Structure 1
Amino acid sequence: MSKNVYVVLGSNCFTGSHIVDALLNDPSNQVIGVSRSPEPKDLFLPYKRRQAANFQFYQIDLVRGFAPLVRLLDEVKPQVVINVAALSEVALSNERPVEYFDINTLAVVKLCNYLRTCSYLERYVHISSAEVFGSCDLPVTEEALFNPSTPYAVSKAAADMYLNALIKNFGFPAVLIRSTNVYGKHQQLFKIIPRTVIYLKLGKVIELHGGGKSIKSFIHIRDVVQGLRLAIERGRPGAYHFTVVSPQTIADVVYQICRWMGYDAGRATRVVGERLGQDARYWLDCSKANRELGWAPQVPFEQGVREVIEWVETHWAAIQQEPLVYVHKA
């Protein structure tokens, strides 16, 4: 889709910033990033390595600043709107569920109810979550019933259900993207893979909640972004799943990183209590994406993790100045 205008909502976040970076590979794309906070440090924004005249950033809060967002949309008339904006820290959703529903559900309803009337829109891309299905004993397809376990997952499932209704009732050109655990360079430092690397370098003990027994399928951000772009170009309205087939537990992942970095996993880790609402496994069936989009993951896990290790090593001085825990912005 050449010479398109893209608006990426949530462009400051890990996935959003990588989407912006990939779109800027094509100089004919005009890319507008929108987030409620100012742009973070270059350390967390892969697109900052570019001198991109075809990118503009606007600080707009989707919940508190809907009118300015509408004015921006009507001014730039994007063919494609990609919505990555969300609160996603699962544990906090138990304590502050209203905030999660405000941004993850109500803001989506308000935005898409408006977008369905906009003649310029060709595609709305929504970043959903595997957590809408809860714990899975078997791989689930895009048509599987939702079974969310946390307020976060409920808020994402509610938005998905609304989008499905828009697709059915109005032919709304929405594509929903669901993936399992995404990782890569520039990720928030409190996420398990960069945090493991950083804690090993600092000599801090890595806590394994519930013994690290939950099974996670880690997929590289480049593979997710490639799937998203294929869904924009070739996909039909509806959902697409992107994952890798992996039986690895969190403990397995941490132990592998310890080995690759030359540390004793037994000394570097300790078992602590399980998190509230922790699902045992997210298991997505991505055969639809394979079949309809020609998509398959390309980045081997070890390669992706070693890229993260190299990123941490390269930016170690800056990383040591950053918080290693999630900082909530009300």
Structure 2
Amino acid sequence: MDKVVTISDVAQAAGVSKATVSYVLSNDKRISKQTAEKVRRTIDDLGYTVNHAARALSTKKSNVLGIVSPTHHGVYLSSFFGLHIYLLSEYAAQSGYDSMFIGSDDGCDAMRKASASHKVDGFILMDVCDNDSRMTTANEIGIPTVVFGSPTSSFGLDTVDSDFRSEAARCMQCMAANNHKEIILYSWSKSIFKKRMGFALRFRDQIIQSAEDLGIVLHIYSPDNDESDPAGELLHALHLYPHATAMIIHNESASIIAPQAFSASGIQIPDDLYVISVFPKQMQWSVLASFAFVQTDIDQLAQKIVSTLVARIQDPDAPITRSLLDFTLQQPVSR
């Protein structure tokens, strides 16, 4: 029968203490990179595997990150929700953590149960709106938490998101530079604004402010709900505002269907209509190159979210961080 490799065996072979091996397994920053690499090589050479259940009991850590999201998030998030979850889980694994998806419309109750049973070491809150009760719950529990969103206040929690205000301002500066005097913002549905979703509010508010500053006539078009047909809604927006020479699409479902909808209607992009779309970099192969893009990088966001949460778990008393990633505007490819 093969001998079971223990943490003591790893420590002896690497020439370090058992505590050092434990620190390396926990990704503790107090261990030097050279020592950590030596210990990890020894772990691989000996074939040591962590007994997660025993380790959780001894350290009171689960080495699991909880990803908290409502079970129903509508069409507006469905297209890329799976990609977000996959990348968050991938970067969690690279940091030595498993991930647990906590899908619950009563996120607060689910968070309390997961924390009380020591199932997770921290939370990632997705689909966050202004005054989201999950943020106050995380504070009450006192568990490390990262907010993935742009609420007006994060209630003292670390925050990671795109810098929607800067990106909106850059879109409007581009419109002014290209001498567009009248434009349409095709935004998220009215139901999203009723929910006070920060990503929609921050972008729209900056567009309004920039239009006023730059002397641009702005028309804002929002579908009634998430299930509206984006092709028909896009064409309806153009019908309502026939003198608009450009459009900003801050709506992922509409961005996906827009090239086909415009082409079928004989609208040439960018000759007849200049279009800027805020769209994930990872999915831009699905949209024609005649659009300009704010290239949102979901991979970069996921990596930042996980690293921020891991850092908070390791140092609960560190200063609160607010990380807004400002993504570039790419012009259409010349034809």
Shorter-chain TM range is 0.3 to 0.5
Q: Which has the larger radius of gyration?
A: 2
Query: What's the TM-score, normalizing by structure 2?
Result: 0.33
Query: What's the TM-score, normalizing by structure 1?
Result: 0.33
User: Which structure has greater helix proportion?
Assistant: 2
